[in-house]
Amino acid sequence: MSANIAEMERRRAAAALGGGQKRIDAQHAKGKLTARERLDVLLDEGSFEELDTYVEHNCTDFGMENQKVPGDGVVTGSGTINGRLVYVFSQDFTVFGGSLSERHAEKIMKVMDNAMKVGAPVIGLNDSGGARIQEGVASLGGYAEVFQRNVLASGVVPQISLIMGPCAGGAVYSPAMTDFIFMVKDSSYMFVTGPDVVKTVTNEVVTQEELGGAITHTTKSSVADNAFENDIEALLAARDFFDYLPENNRSGVPVRPTSDPYDRAEPSLDTLIPPNANQPYDMHELIRKTVDEGDFFEVQPAHAANIICGFGRIEGRTIGIVANQPLVLAGVLDINSSKKAARFVRFCDAFVNSDRHLRRRPGFLPGSGARNIMASSSMARSCSSLMPRQRCPRSR
Ligand code: HXC
């Protein structure tokens, strides 16, 4: 019996150490946290319940049978964020570059299955070179199973991805199917394939940053929603963001007690919109003065800034906000802004009880003349969906 316990302790210590102290030091030297350190920041203290700590890969090719690390490069389980349940996986770059083996995939699949069973969001912390090369097609099959669950969970439970290292192949395709993607500047990348392969195949010379860095994906491609300075900032933002989201598509939006009265007068709004339609104003100001306590979480702020999308609260309840921004391109709608808004509205449609919330729009009108209509209608719509019209004085 004591031998068994000693063996378990040995494996537990090995799981905690991942790919070893040298690789942990290398991770820290790049300004990155380890998989477990990230979960410590993301989740409420002491709330993490780990699953499958001792799972190892089953590959016997290329000498892999002699290279096993308990946990196999991903830490999985559940925990809470400000008391609300969430399922998580956190890939460990120190173990085979966080690459996905068949067993690694099974651990992620279990977390996603459990999340869908109980109706809780999934947050993935991605730091992975993609399919584990040594396993070949078994690893690709693992990705197929993960992708299938991304599809099944879509519109059922919120899925959030944090890209926290150089992610390639499947480690990018799966997050791309999730609802929101956060990246870390200068240490996270999303590639279909890296610069070396691009050079070989097309002769194009491109840097990692240009090909798939946080700035590229949050400004040009719009694959990612928000970019943060470092791991901690990204994880803390994910905690804040999580507070706005419902647990699933049947739970309704979360309600947070607020000391900001619904009938708070905001006299500055009377003069915010200039009488001259050619004169711009900052829609952010209108939003912040309208929502509870000025709290607004904007998504994709650096892409198609002529439209603003994000979450706030009115009377403690989450609302999705879509608003033209007269300060950028006079607030006109173009393809990028339309796609940005459509994607956001689609999420709200599924999760934020949007039948009355987001569909009662007057229509997108191209051109600067539409901005005031859009601005006021989207704010009024947000309020009117959740409370009787006369109880929304802030957005009059
Ligand atoms: C096995 C991998 C790995 C992988 C990285 N490693 N990716 N091992 N399978 N996919 C290992 C490296 O060999 C190395 O081990 C360690 O992780 C750290 O990697 P480095 O290359 O030293 O790190 P870095 O310079 O930061 O570069 C990270 C990287 C690069 C950009 C991710 O490693 C890379 O290009 N990896 C391969 C990416 C790739 O082609 N993935 C397959 C995608 S195909 P040692 O022991 O040397 O420290 C795919 C298909 C999905 O995913 C389709 C589904 C249907």
pLDDT digits (tens, 9 = 90+) for 91-148: 999 999 999 999 999 999 999 999 999 999 999 999 999 999 999 999 999 999 999 9
> φ and ψ at 32, to 5 degrees?
-105, 150
Min mean pLDDT across 7-11, 65-69, 156-160, 382-386 is at: 382-386
- Range in 14-23, 191-200, 284-293, 383-392 the model is least confident about: 383-392
Residue with the nearest Cα to atom 47 of ligand 1?
96
CB-based contacts of 61, cutoff 8 Å, min separation 6 = 134, 135, 136
pLDDT at position 184 over 50: yes
Task: Examine domains 2-242 and 267-384 and report if their fold is the same.
Answer: yes
Residue 382 has pLDDT above 70, yes or no: no
pLDDT for the residue numbered 393: 38
User: Which atom, in ligand 1's list, is nearest to the CA of 194?
Assistant: 35
Tens digits of residue pLDDT in 359-374: 333 345 444 444 443 4
Mean pLDDT of 242-263: 94
CB atoms within 10 A of CB 151: 9
48 CA to centre of ligand 1 in angstroms: 28
Cα separation, 38 vs 20, in Å, equals 17
Q: Is the pLDDT of residue 174 over 70?
A: yes
Q: How far apart are CA 184 and CA 74, in angstroms?
A: 19
C-beta 194 within 6 A of ligand 1: yes
- According to the model, what pLDDT value does residue 131 have? 96
The residue ranking higher by pLDDT, 349 or 108, is 108
Whether pLDDT at 358 is above 70 = no
Q: From the CB of 166, is ligand 1 less than 6 Å away?
A: yes
Q: Where are the domains of the chain?
A: 2-242, 267-384
For atom 4 of ligand 1, the residue with the nearest CA is 132
CA–CA separation, 141 and 345 (whole Å): 33
d(CA 299, CA 318): 14
Average pLDDT for 64-82: 96
Task: Confirm or reject: Cβ of 133 under 6 Å from ligand 1.
Answer: yes
Lowest mean pLDDT among 167-181, 297-311, 342-356, 360-374: 360-374
d(CA 272, CA 269): 5
Q: Is 67 strand, coil or helix? A: coil
Asked if 181 and 223 touch (Cβ cutoff 8 Å), the reply is yes
Identify the CATH homologous superfamily for domain 2-242.
2-enoyl-CoA Hydratase; Chain A, domain 1 (3.90.226.10)
Query: Which residue out of 68, 96, 148, 193 has the highest number of ligand 1 atoms within 8 Å of its CB and is therefore the one to mutate?
Result: 96
From CA 223, how far away is CA 192, in angstroms rounded? Answer: 12
Q: How far, in Å, CA of 358 to CA of 191, rounded?
A: 33
Q: Tell me the mean pLDDT in the region 143-166.
A: 98
Q: For residue 197, what pLDDT band results from cuts at 50, 70 and 90? A: confident
- pLDDT at residue 347 is higher than 70: yes
Residue 182's φ and ψ, nearest 5 degrees, are -110, 145
User: Ligand 1 center to residue 330 CA distance, Å?
Assistant: 44
Check if 132 has its Cβ closer than 6 Å to any atom of ligand 1.
yes
The stretch 280-287 carries a mean pLDDT of 94
Kindly state the tokens that stand for 227: 């970019």
Quote the tokens at residue 314: 């009115």
- Does residue 130 line the site of ligand 1, with CB under 6 A? yes
Q: CA 163: distance to chain centroid?
A: 9
Mean pLDDT of the region 198-206: 91
Tell me the average pLDDT across 266-294.
92
Distance (Å, rounded) from C-alpha 204 to C-alpha 202? 5
Distance 334 CA to ligand 1 centre (A): 38
Q: Would the CB of 140 count as within 6 Å of ligand 1? A: yes
How far from 212 is each of 169, 184, 185, 189, 334, CA to CA, in Å?
12, 12, 11, 5, 24
- Residue identifier of the C-alpha nearest atom 22 of ligand 1: 97
Q: Is the CB of 142 under 6 A from ligand 1?
A: no
Q: Ligand 1 centroid vs 62 CA: distance in angstroms? A: 16
Q: Which two tokens mark 228? A: 């943060």
Specify the residue with its C-alpha closest to ligand 1, atom 34.
Answer: 129
Residue to mutate, 74, 133, 197, ligand 1, most ligand atoms under 8 Å from C-beta: 133
Amino acid (one-letter) located at 138? A
Closest Cα to atom 45, ligand 1: which residue?
Answer: 96
Task: Look at ligand 1, atom 21, and give the residue with the nearest C-alpha.
Answer: 97
Q: Residue 32, by phi and psi: left (phi above 0), alpha (psi -120 to 50) or beta?
A: beta
Residue 41 in tokens: 């920041």
Q: Is 50 exceeded by the pLDDT of residue 354?
A: no
Average pLDDT over every residue of 170-177: 97
pLDDT reading at 88 higher than 60: yes
- Range ranked top by mean pLDDT from 28-42, 318-332, 364-378, 380-394: 28-42
Q: Which of 23-37, 221-235, 265-279 has the lowest mean pLDDT?
A: 265-279
Pick the residue whose CA is nearest to atom 26 on ligand 1: 166
CB-count burial class (<10 Å; 0-12, 13-18, 19+) for 156 = middle
What's the gap between Cα 85 and its chain centre? 16
User: To the nearest whole number, what is the mean pLDDT of the chain?
Assistant: 89
pLDDT the model gives residue 143: 98
Which candidate, 59, 86, 88, 87, places its Cα nearest to that of 72? Answer: 59
Which pLDDT value is given to residue 353? 59
Q: Which H or E element spans position 320?
A: strand 317-324
Joined tokens for residue 38: 């990230």
In angstroms, the CA 16 to CA 352 distance is 38
- Ligand 1 centroid from CA 115, angstroms: 28
pLDDT of residue 194: 82
Give all strands of the β-sheet with 226-228 in edge-to-edge order.
Answer: 49-51, 74-81, 84-91, 122-126, 159-163, 180-184, 226-228
- Other CB atoms within a 10 A radius of the CB of residue 203 amount to 7
Class for the domain spanning 267-384: alpha beta
Give me the percent of the chain exceeding a pLDDT of 90. 81
